[in-house]
Structure 1
Amino acid sequence: MTATTGDAVTFEYTGKLEDGTVFDTTRESVAEEAGLTEAQPDREFAPLTVELGTGEVIEGMEEGLEGLAEGETATLTIPPEKGYGEWDEANVQEYSTEELREMLGGETPEEGAFLEANNGRHGQITHVDDEVTRADFNPRLAGETLVFDVEVVDIS
C-alpha cells in the first residue's frame, strides 16, 4: 500500500539545510548529535503522524510522502516555494527604539532576541540603534531549500 491523499502517514524524518545542518528531526539520537535536545529539553522525539491532504505539514513534504510505501525511505529536496516561502522584505518591520523599549517594560531591545507582535506573529530583532529597531517576521526557514530524509513507519 502506498500513501495517498486522506491516508494517515506515520513517519520519521531528519530535516537539514543544503549545507547539511540539521534543523529538526523525530529521532532522538540525531537530535542529541545535532544539539537539538539542549535547545528543546522538554520535546519528545517520536515519529510524526499526519493526514495527507490536510496541510498539516509543508506542501513539499505532503507531495514527497505521497506514493511512498510502508517501510520505504526517501530523501526529499524541497524548494522554498513548497516549504516556508521566499524571504520577503515586506515581513521586516521597523519600530521606534524608544517606543519598543516602553513596550518591553523599559528593557532595551537586543539583536537576536525574539518578540511577539500584537497580531501574534513572532519575529527576531535584526537591528537596534538609538532611533530604529528592525524585526524580521519571515518564517525562520524562509528562502531555504530543505532536505528531508524520511522513513514511512505506518500508513492507515
Structure 2
Amino acid sequence: MTLEYTGKLDDGTVFDTSKESVAEDAGLAEAQPDREYTPLTVEVGGGQVIEGMEEGLIGLEAGETDTLTIPPEKAYGQPSDENVEEFETDELREMLGGQLPEEGAYLEAQDGSQGEIIHVDEDVVRADFNPPLAGETLTFDVEVIEVN
C-alpha cells in the first residue's frame, strides 16, 4: 500500500509527514534538509509501522482518506524508568574522549537509539532512551494512493 500521511500530536503539532509543503509549513523541512518527502509504501501486516497505524490501514482502498487516532499503547508505549540509563560520570567522560555532554544533549547507543541527557553531576549522568513520542496519542491523516 502506498500512502501520503501527516502525523500530529494532541496539540496539533506536526511531527512527521510525507508531504513537502506540510513539512515546510510545520518547520520540519528546515530541521531535516536532506530528507526527501515522498509517499510511504508499506506492506500491511509486515510490522513496518506502529501497530495502531497498521490496524487503521486494513481495509482502506485506493483514493480513500482517513484519520487514525492511535493511543500510546499502539504507538510508542508509555515512558518507562527502565529506559533511563545511568553512567558513572568519569567512565562516560572517558568513553567520549574527555568530553562530557550537558543536559539536553543526546547520546547515541550502540543500537542507534538516542538518549537525552536529563541529569549530570560529579558522580552520575542519566540518559533517557524512551522514544521521543512515548506517552503521546498520535493522529495520522492518511490518503491511500495505491493498494498493491
* 1:115 and 2:107 correspond: yes
- Which residue, out of 50, 56, 63, partners 1:71? 63
Gapped regions of structure 1 (runs ≥ 5) = 1-8
Can you list the C-alpha shifts for 1:49-88, whole angstroms capped at 9, x where unaligned? 0000010100100111111111111110000110011111
* 1:32 and 2:36 correspond: no
Give, in whole Å, the separation in 1 of the partners of 2:112 and 2:137.
26
Aligned counterpart, 1:41: 33
Give, in whole Å, the separation in 1 of the partners of 2:121 and 2:23.
36
User: What residue identity is the alignment partner of 2:91?
Assistant: E
Give, in whole Å, the separation in 1 of the partners of 2:91 and 2:37.
40
Q: TM-score, normalised by structure 2?
A: 0.95
Give, in whole Å, the separation in 2 of the partners of 1:119 and 1:38.
26
Can you list the C-alpha shifts for 1:82-129, whole angstroms capped at 9, x where unaligned? 001111111101111221111111112111211122454321111112
Q: TM-score, normalised by structure 1?
A: 0.91
* 1:124 and 2:116 correspond: yes
Give, in whole Å, the separation in 2 of the partners of 1:134 and 1:19.
28
Report % sequence identity.
70
In terms of mean alpha carbon deviation, does 106-115 or 52-61 score higher?
Answer: 106-115
In terms of mean alpha carbon deviation, does 125-134 or 15-24 score higher?
Answer: 125-134
Aligned counterpart, 1:4: none
Aligned counterpart, 1:51: 43
* 1:96 and 2:88 correspond: yes
Give, in whole Å, the separation in 1 of the partners of 2:73 and 2:58.
18
Q: 1:29 aligns to what SS in structure 2?
A: helix
Structure 1 segments of 4 or more deviating over 4 A?
Answer: none
User: What residue identity is the alignment partner of 1:43?
Assistant: R
Gapped regions of structure 2 (runs ≥ 5) = none
Shift of 1:132: 1.5
In terms of mean alpha carbon deviation, does 45-54 or 99-108 score higher?
Answer: 99-108
